[in-house]
Amino acid sequence: MATTRAEPEVIYEGIPASPGIAMAPVHVTARGFSAPEVYAIDESEIGREQDRFQQAIEITKRQLIELQSRLEDLSGATASSIFETHVMMIEDRAVVQRVLGTIADRLQNAECAFYAVMQNFLEAMRRIPDPYLRERTADIEDVAQRVLRNFSADSDARHTGPDDQHILVAYDLAPSDTALMNRRHVLGFATEQGSLNSHTAILARAFGVPAVVGLEGAVIDVMALAPAILDGYTGKLILHPAPDTLARYQQLAEAKARIRSSLEAVRGAATETVDGRPLMLSANIEIIDELPLVKRSGAKGIGLYRTEFLLLNGEEMPDEKRQVEIYSKLTCEMAPHTVIIRTLDAGGDKLPVEPLTDIEPNPFLGWRGIRVSLARPAMFREQIRAILRASSAGQVAVMFPMISGLSEVWRCKEMVRRCMDELEKEGVPFDRDLPVGIMIEVPAAALCADLLAPEVDFFSIGTNDLIQYTLAVDRVNPYVADLYRPTHPSVIRLIKRTIDAAIDHGIWTGVCGEMAADIRLTPLLIGLGVEELSVGPQKVPDVGQAIRSLSYAECAAMADEALRHNRSQGIFDLSLALARKHYGELLD
Ligand code: PEP
Ligand code: MG
């Protein structure tokens, strides 16, 4: 990783969202206007780049004046004065001087320098409390985008821009941005927003892309092309790393690679504790592209297929026929293992199923999960029919999200029965014994687990939401990220209560939230009596090895003690101590 000038090392601290180390130049993308291609220049090329900038400004000015006069003809002076302001913006001497200076100082191409200067300016504007001034950012973005377009006339073929491997730094990324990211080029990403359990972070872990979120101020300060290290283990973005930092991270990356290959050797081995308690280890999946990763991971099935990711790119829910194709492919590929298909869990921080006329003040407490499906019976019916039809291709189970009480379970089961009857009449094959499970992710469901258990075949605890709703801590809000405690006594009591109710009624309980993938907490979950763990495919080898290293009796004794403990940290430490004792080398 080369750097053009010796710059001091700068470290940004954030939340480690997806483990791994990436070493590459950064590529910055701001909100609203898109990043240009970025390449380094020689000192001899400074003048040429400065001319290119002046030329782009001139072209833009001409265009704006032309637009202004056209608009004057059409609508009079008022609307056309907008463009007058735009012209003034691009002629702003301070901006022009900063861009010219940045080209010379940073030895970067003109569009990159312009982009960086405008980006800083825009971010500063966005932080202004005055709503009128904040609104003006849209105008600046518009002009800036126009200037960037006007560079392209003479763009240099020599660029080494975002097509090369880089670390992406962004203010925020939507789950769809993350899913569609070119994983060959994006070696890791860092965002100012987000938290450990946002869907963006979950996807990063699923794809094995190192990620750090909640990095305050990064977008405004980071200069494109700066050499960097992204440490997804401890949550750091290190710009202009010093030679010893670089050497340390190179060593760490090599050590991690060695552990990975030793786990490779036992991939697919049975997952039971040393004293013979079997645990089902399955994978969470969001999009079908993850299938090869799941198969390579050694997972014994899919414990959670998040079907709301079918809505990526703002697409509508696919029709029944298309859904049958997708679910059947998944089922056939995973045979003889089971695929648990969760019905649509739209809303919250996820993709909406349809645009809402009014913005929800509290989306996580609003129209989300099973509430949406029950309110849209035609769509729900299509999904259930598709799941049933796929069940003729192999082992399938259906699971309902965001259940908060018995009546919702009855309504879901009624829909399953109705669809079964329809398919039977139509002579379409399906599995009459299709297991029906529910997510336990709302505290109400955990508290009433004894009422729900007789109605279903399994429980899967969604700890991401269970923790959020129990502790009243938004799972994607970095301001309260430190209050998000998986080992809070209330959370582990709810987990225990759920498992006990399941055992009483002869059904099994799994965990498919992110807590299941945290190997520091595997001893606690096993000790509490969980029978299945479903985790992102990248985490399957680690969790498998953790299971194989632990003794159930020892975990159960520790969990008993944990249930009597009064502090999250104390409970966490109890579990961590067993993890360290049995597989310290795997811990990050
Ligand atoms: C959960 O809430 O833990 C869960 C697995 O569901 P999701 O993360 O998709 O909300
Ligand atoms: Mg959930």
Q: Is 30 helix (H, G, I), strand (E, B) or coil?
A: coil
List the one residue out of 93, 66, 89 whose CA is nearest residue 145. 89
Ligand nearest to the CA of 462: 1
> 514 CA to middle of ligand 1, Å?
8
> What Å distances lie between residue 201 and 15, 71, 205, 211, CA to CA?
10, 45, 6, 7
> pTM for this structure?
0.72
Cα–Cα distance measured from residue 224 to residue 203, given in angstroms and rounded to the nearest whole number = 24
* Residue 302 placed within a domain: yes
Of 117, 149, 181, the domain-final residue: 149
Residue 411 lies in a domain: yes
Name residues contacting ligand 1 (CB within 6 A).
Answer: 304, 306, 345, 441, 462-465, 512-513
Find the CATH number of the domain harbouring 450.
3.20.20.60
Q: Which two tokens stand for residue 298?
A: 């050694």
Handedness of CA 404, 407, 412, 416 (dihedral sign): positive
Q: Would strands 211-213 and 186-191 be described as parallel, antiparallel, or unpaired?
A: parallel
List active site positions.
199, 512
Domain membership flag for residue 292: yes
144 and 276 together in one domain:
no
Which of ligand 1's atoms lies nearest the C-alpha of 197? 8
User: Is 369 in contact with 335 (CB distance < 8 Å)?
Assistant: no
Question: Does residue 226 belong to any structural domain of this protein?
Answer: no
The ligand placed nearest to the CA atom of residue 198 is 1
Which residues face 458 on adjacent strands? 437, 508
Q: Based on the fold, state whether residues 140 and 277 are members of the same structural domain.
A: no
DSSP-assigned beta bridge partners for residue 170: 29, 191
For position 79, which CATH number holds? 1.10.274.10
Q: Which residues of the chain have pLDDT under 70?
A: 1-6, 29-35, 67-68, 70-83, 85, 127-139, 142, 152-163, 174-177, 179-180, 218-221, 223-224, 313-315, 351, 356-357, 588
pLDDT for 155:
38
The verdict on 343 and 487 lying in the same domain is yes
* DSSP letter (8 states) at residue 108: B
Q: How far apart are CA 495 and CA 463, in angstroms?
A: 9
Q: Whose CA is nearest to atom 6 of ligand 1?
A: 462
The reported pLDDT for the residue numbered 83 is: 63
Same domain, yes or no: 498 and 373: yes
Ligand number, closest to the Cα atom of 511:
1
What does the pLDDT read at residue 565? 96
pLDDT on residue 157: 30
- Contact (Cβ atoms closer than 8 angstroms) between residue 541 and residue 263: yes
> Could you tell me if residue 159 is inside a domain?
no
The last residue of one of the domains, among 111, 127, 149, is 149
Instruction: List the alpha helices (DSSP H) in 152-300.
Output: 175-180, 199-207, 218-221, 243-266, 291-297
With the most atoms of ligand 1 within 8 angstroms of its CB, the residue from 345, 365, 371, 509 to mutate is 345
Q: Which atom of ligand 1 is nearest to the CA of 465?
A: 2
Q: How many angstroms separate the alpha carbon of residue 490 from the centre of ligand 2? A: 18
**Count of H helices and E strands in the chain?**
23, 16
Ligand 1 pocket mutation pick from 198, 302, 306 by most atoms within 8 angstroms of CB: 306
Query: What is the pLDDT at residue 172?
Result: 76
For residue 344, being part of any structural domain is answered with yes
Instruction: Please tell me the residue having the least CA distance from ligand 1 atom 4.
Output: 462
The residue whose C-alpha atom lies closest to atom 1 belonging to ligand 1 is: 462
In which domain, by residue range, is 140 found?
A: 36-149
Protein residues with C-beta less than 5 angstroms from the ion ligand 2: 441, 462, 465
Q: Are residues 338 and 485 in the same domain?
A: yes
Secondary structure percentages of the chain, helix, strand, coil, to 5: 55, 15, 30
Same domain assignment for residues 276 and 140: no
Domain final position from 104, 129, 149:
149
Tokens of 478: 């970095």
pLDDT reported for residue 229 = 95
Q: Is residue 364 part of a domain?
A: yes
If one counts the domains in the chain, the total is 2
| In a domain? residue 359 | yes
| Strand ranges in 519-575 using DSSP code E only, listed in sequence order | 532-535
- What pLDDT is attached to residue 371? 96
